[in-house]
Amino acid sequence: MTDYSSSTNGHHSSNTSAGPRTDLLSTDPNERVEAEPIFQGDIDTDKNVVVCGAGGFIGGHLVADLLRQGYDQVRAVDIKPPNQWFQKFPEADNRSLDLREKENCYRALEGADQVYNLAADMGGMGFIENNKALCMLSVTINTHLLMAARDNDVDRYFYSSSACVYNQELQDTSDVEPLSEEDAYPALAEDGYGWEKLFSERMCRHFREDFDVTTRVARYHNVYGPFGTYDGGREKAPAALTRKAIEAKLSGSGDIVIWGDGTQTRSFMYIDDCVKGTQKIMHSDITEPINLGSDELVTINGLVDVIEEAVEVDLDREYDLTKPQGVDGRNSDNTKILNELGWEPPTALRDGMEVTAEWIEQQMRRHREEETTSRFAVPH
């Protein structure tokens, strides 16, 4: 078995965690909202908070946590019709708007105090490798939202960037050095998606400098968890491999196809940590982009080991070297977030994947029994 718990920088989280919370996984959205908040900080619940990309994986979890905290006004915005949102809560002001259009950004941010911009046309490596222009067009979303934030006197504006902004020449080995925030320059971002994110980071910086818009930027490292897409073509590695493992289990084949040779390395952050860290950064004094990710480095083979354990299946592995596989290695250097916030994402991969795999298997078994198609497979 691969040692999937080790990190190349020899660092292990100083945070203690009781593991992922299962009370946030109820099939009843009202019960999910009534749970204890993930983020518990000094906040003003009279603020009008807008979440852009609220119909997506991270956005849905963020909306839920804002509602748990008791915000009076939470506006949830997404391009998808609400019946295709990953999570939808009746307590929120749910709006279907195409934020690539400037006038829709102004409509979305009317009266807003705080804005979380999670909206983007993106997916896993298979999607971003084959849809570079679509990924680049997301630059219109952030640009128009920043203009609307400036003109509507928004108090704070959060932008979700990505580890894909980092110089690819620093990620050409599986035994990668953790990437610190300074490693984004000299710029050689991932083609398409990474360049869009890096440019949008700069837009946030210059709107802060030139127009006094208070902006915060986090570079997400591979977020996973329940209530996310696991099929349809946009899923990321943890969900895709889990789906394949469950398919092998249910069919009795025991076979799984892995993109690449399995030696590529990554770190993966559980969704609850992402939601908490996002809000910590939003309410902080951190003006420059900062890593938000786990520093628990794992090979893709090691990830499959974890999934086998979670799904309770032994898999025969086949490697497809023709498929997109991204950089050879990527990990998060958490020195800055530890120094600034005294915190880093604490959830161990084994713990997060156990909950995630159980949720995906429940979904797949239900759709198999009902002979229906997962709603997460709908293009979005």
Per-residue pLDDT tens for 73-82?
999 999 999 9
At residue 24, the pLDDT reads 94
Confidence of residue 372 (pLDDT cuts 50, 70, 90): confident
Higher-pLDDT residue of 1 and 292 is 292
For the stretch 5-59, pLDDT in tens is 333 333 333 444 568 999 999 999 999 999 999 999 999 999 999 999 999 999 9
Q: What percent of the chain has pLDDT over 90?
A: 79
pLDDT of residue 327: 87
What confidence score (pLDDT) does residue 15 get? 42
Mean pLDDT of the 193-202 span: 95
Tell me what the pLDDT averaged over the chain comes to: 91
Residues 256/245, Cβ–Cβ less than 8 Å:
yes
Residue 272 has φ and ψ, to the nearest 5°, of: -60, -40
User: pLDDT-derived band of residue 62, with 50, 70 and 90 as boundaries?
Assistant: very high
Average pLDDT of span 316-333: 91
When mean pLDDT is compared across 62-66, 193-197, 345-349, the lowest value belongs to 193-197
Domain positions in the chain are 29-376
Cα distances (Å, whole numbers) of residue 80 to 75, 94, 241, 300, 367: 15, 11, 26, 32, 22
- Calpha distance 50→95 (Å, rounded): 10
pLDDT at 210: 98
Give CATH for domain 29-376.
Answer: 3.40.50.720
Average pLDDT over residues 153-167: 97
Residue 53: predicted pLDDT: 97
Q: Phi first, then psi: give them for residue 337, nearest 5 degrees.
A: -65, -35
Mean pLDDT over 223-240 rounds to 89
The dihedral through the CA atoms of 79, 80, 83, 84 has a sign that is negative
List Cβ neighbours of 141 (8 Å cut-off, separation of 6 or more). Answer: 52, 99, 100, 105, 117, 119, 120
pTM of the full predicted structure?
A: 0.92
The pLDDT assigned to 130 comes to 67
Strands (DSSP E) along 184-329, which ranges? 215-220, 223-224, 255-259, 265-266, 269-270, 290-292, 298-299, 316-320
pLDDT at residue 156 above 80? yes
Question: Is pLDDT at 4 greater than 50 in this prediction?
Answer: no
What is the pLDDT confidence band of residue 380, given thresholds at 50, 70 and 90?
very low
pLDDT digits (tens, 9 = 90+) for 96-151: 999 999 999 999 999 999 999 999 876 666 666 667 888 778 899 999 999 999 99
CA distance 38 to 68: 8
Q: Cβ(380)–Cβ(80) under 8 Å? A: yes
Of 363 and 19, the one with more pLDDT: 363
What band does 324 get if pLDDT is binned at 50, 70 and 90?
confident
Say if residue 367's pLDDT is above 50.
yes
Cα distances (angstroms) measured from residue 326 to each of 43, 74, 125, 170, 189: 39, 36, 7, 13, 12
At residue 234 the predicted structure's pLDDT band, cuts being 50, 70 and 90, is confident
pLDDT at 77: 98
pLDDT tens-digit readout, 245-296 = 999 999 998 899 999 999 999 999 999 999 999 999 999 999 999 999 999 9
Residues 247, 253, 259, 264: is their CA dihedral positive or negative? Answer: positive
- The confidence score (pLDDT) of residue 374 equals 81
Per-residue pLDDT, averaged over 179-196, amounts to 93
| Residues designated as active site | 193
Position 18 scores a pLDDT of 66
